[in-house]
Structure 1
Amino acid sequence: MVILVLNCGSSSIKYQVIDMESASSKLLAKGIVERIGLAEGDLVHKPVGKDKFELQQPIPDHTTGIRLVLDALTDPAHGVIASLDEVKAVGHRVAHGGEFFAASCLVNDEVKEKIRQLFEIAPLHNPANLEGILSIEKVLPGTPQVAVFDTSFHQTIPAVNYLYALPHLYYDKYRVRKYGFHGTSHKYVAKVGAELAGLDFEHSKIITCHIGNGASVTAILDGKSFDTSMGFSPVDGLVMGTRCGNVDPSAITFIGQKEGMSYAQLDEMMNKKSGVMGLTDISSDMRDIDDAYDRGDERAIIARDMHYRRIKKFVGEYAAEMGGVDLIVFTGGVGENSSEMRESVASGLEFMGVKFDCEANRGARGVDKILSTPDSRVKVAMIATNEELVIASDTYELVR
């Protein structure tokens, strides 16, 4: 069954085409459409076993972008399917499912309406995700669609961990609570990591660290999300590329009062002008921070140390919360590529039963690997995340 996986952002479309069978999967192509709505858009299409194809032209909306993707998929020179009839289903990443969705689901009018109702608490993501669904209805009418939610995996978190100590009125009226994100990634790498480490996923204590420009740590107890660092929005928890993470709320209201900033301006500051970018005025990309760190830039040294230390704090917190840990997993763009970050976080945890193998860690990139010594009571692993495969698998099971 050929499945198209879409991850629609406000001005971009990431996609993969995967041929799914019950026991295996085969990637046929992947690519990205960028600069939607600007004067000149870009399409980069990468078919497996063929040359990369690139296209620059105005792409006014998501429907146009998806049409270009479908044209590329069926093109005689760089396509991977003979006709669009081969696409049997489309799976969508949807950022926020609120309390509506504890699992992936087939898209219907009710599902679309609930995604729309969540625009208010996910204004940067859900509108674009819904736009992708509506666009497929136009260009591939009648094709089954599945929504896979970033928040679904975290719906097992107990109330003692997802509620805030605010007046209960605001949960009752507006559902203000912790939701968590990166759920598909945390679930995938925990399962793969447990298998690699020889653990029973359903009877284990796992801490997963998804570290990229956006980042979160999750405690997974007996196969279910138990706690996670992101909260009502993705701004909570770790120090990230442009997000501040944990901060005293009074510091924000104080700045707003002093600077005469609106709620929208404060939100933009916390989400787009903070993190390592705000700390350094250099970049939101950890590779640039690493370069500045190596040059001895004082701000970069503080920012990187804060970033690493916050991850370690959550690892320790979640180990305490679960009464121990069997496996710590690193994933995401930084988690899979930064040996320095992994060593900084995992070193010094010997009191927890971690014996980190620095030699195995050096140079490890993008390949699933155990990074602890054979006699380490707590295993440490690096697992390459594959959220698209999770989306394709859920889509396959629901449509089949």
Structure 2
Amino acid sequence: MSSRNVLVINSGSSSIKFALVNEDSEQFPIQGLAERLGSSDAVLNWQLGDEKHVAQLHGADHKEAFERLLPLVQKASQGKLTGIGHRVVHGGAHFTEASALNREVIDVIRRAAVLAPLHNPAGLIGIEAAMALYPELTQVAVFDTAFHQTMPAHAYRYAVPEHLYTDHNVRRYGFHGTSHMYVSRKAAVMTGLPVEDSCWLTAHLGNGCSTAAVVNGESLDTSMGLTPLEGLVMGTRSGDVDPSLHNHLARTLGWDTQRIETVLTKESGLLGLSGLSNDMRTLIEAREKGDERATLAIEVFCYRLAKSLAGMACALPRLDGLIFTGGIGENASLVRSKTLDYMRLFNFKLDEAANQKCVRGEGGIISAENHPRVLVIPTNEERQIAIETLALIDAHA
């Protein structure tokens, strides 16, 4: 039987990120990004093997972008496309696993948009466009929140009046679930441990950042909450702040809730602290040149990350390892070492040569001998989405 291909789609409000995943190949036959959709400078970038291509889309919307990119995918898959997997950010408490897309599932995703107003409507645009063009293919929604639905109530409940939970779904959900699932399972394979008998601290660090406690293949706690704003310092997001900050800013500066939300989600984090950039690479370079604000931003980032990981340890019966992943986690050796310096009580110690070596897709164990295990594992959310899509297709075969 020939190996199967799944098209993985991550649709944003003005973009479509896509990758063709073959179940038997580590490399994506084709991957790309359609961006600035709806504007005159809309563009499609894609990589076919080692060749990079670009095409102007001139005002194309999502459906028109799909009409342009899908023939490329069909050609790369030699006409053998088994299914389409869609990343959906928020499934609320309704979805605990991937679900085949139908009108009922789409309606639930639409209702959950109140919890993710920036993400779910954008995801639905991609879903509707792909289903219109490929009505005969099985299409699957894979939810960022689903993996964290195994959290116990004492981890996901906020200490607010009961009716806010029961009537309005105010609780912690968590995100980056596909990444936390992928790297924790990969770590078990790498270390020869059964997934169902392994305990990990995971840190997904990119422009968005989150930690999780994964026990026996299940998430028992995570740092993000009702929205992706809770938790760690991120590229442009503040992470945790005093809940009364909103009132303080409204009273003293006259800001409305929209202005406050914009500041906390788009103007804070590494960018707000440094006044320079939300990109950790830029900040590390500035730190090396003596930039005090960049230095502080990195220090705050690492300290808050260490605090979160230490707190996540409350959910673990034992620790089999700490995993770094995501663009920062996989490439910033300075962030890894500084974070663990703040966790001295855990007895972490890095093999500095191994730590320096883990960049640009190179993973492995970076802890010193006879110290708790620390791993760098490149995440692969597209492959995890493809895995879950194929598993659902097989279950319904």
TM superposition score category, shorter chain reference: over 0.9
Q: Which digits, 9 at most, give the CA deviation of each residue in 1:29-61, with x for residues without a partner?
A: 111111101111111111125x22210131431
How many angstroms does 1:239 deviate by? 0.6
> What letter matches 1:7 in structure 2?
N
> Equivalent residue for 1:16?
19
> Equivalent residue for 2:172?
178
- Residue pairs, 1:21-32, within 5 angstroms: 27-32=28-33
Query: Cα distance 1:82–1:315, how it changes in 2: closer, same or farther (>3 A)?
Result: closer
Aligned to 1:240, what secondary structure does the other structure show? Answer: coil
> What letter matches 1:56 in structure 2?
Q
How many angstroms does 1:190 deviate by? 0.6
Which ranges of 4 or more aligned residues in structure 1 deviate by more than 4 Å?
none
> Equivalent residue for 2:76?
80
How many angstroms does 1:359 deviate by? 1.7
Q: Which digits, 9 at most, give the CA deviation of each residue in 1:316-368, with x for residues without a partner?
A: 11223424422100000000010101111123545324232112101311222
1:38 aligns with 2:32: no
> What letter matches 2:84 in structure 1?
V
2:317 & 2:206 partners in 1: Cα distance?
27
1:350 & 1:276 partners in 2: Cα distance?
24
* TM-score, length of structure 1 as denominator length: 0.94
Is the Cα contact below 8 Å between 2:270 and 2:297 reproduced in 1?
Answer: yes
> What letter matches 1:66 in structure 2?
F
- Residue pairs, 1:1-400, within 5 angstroms: 1-20=4-23, 27-49=28-50, 51-74=51-74, 79-83=75-79, 86-347=80-341, 349-365=343-359, 366-376=361-371, 378-400=372-394
2:82 & 2:195 partners in 1: Cα distance?
31
> Percent identical across equivalent pairs?
39
Is the Cα contact below 8 Å between 2:57 and 2:65 reproduced in 1?
Answer: no
Aligned to 1:27, what secondary structure does the other structure show? Answer: coil
> What letter matches 1:81 in structure 2?
S
Is the Cα contact below 8 Å between 1:40 and 1:58 reproduced in 2?
Answer: yes
Gaps of 5+ in 2: none
How many angstroms does 1:251 deviate by? 2.0
> What letter matches 1:181 in structure 2?
F
> What letter matches 1:3 in structure 2?
V
How many angstroms does 1:278 deviate by? 1.2
Q: How many equivalent pairs are there?
A: 390
1:342 & 1:129 partners in 2: Cα distance?
33
Gaps of 5+ in 1: none
Is the Cα contact below 8 Å between 1:180 and 1:232 reproduced in 2?
Answer: yes
2:40 & 2:70 partners in 1: Cα distance?
22
> What letter matches 1:11 in structure 2?
S
1:109 & 1:60 partners in 2: Cα distance?
26
Aligned to 1:87, what secondary structure does the other structure show? Answer: coil
Query: Cα distance 1:25–1:276, how it changes in 2: closer, same or farther (>3 A)?
Result: closer
Query: Cα distance 1:351–1:260, how it changes in 2: closer, same or farther (>3 A)?
Result: closer
Aligned to 1:328, what secondary structure does the other structure show? Answer: strand
> What letter matches 2:76 in structure 1?
V
Aligned to 1:249, what secondary structure does the other structure show? Answer: coil
1:19 & 1:303 partners in 2: Cα distance?
40
* TM-score, length of structure 2 as denominator length: 0.94
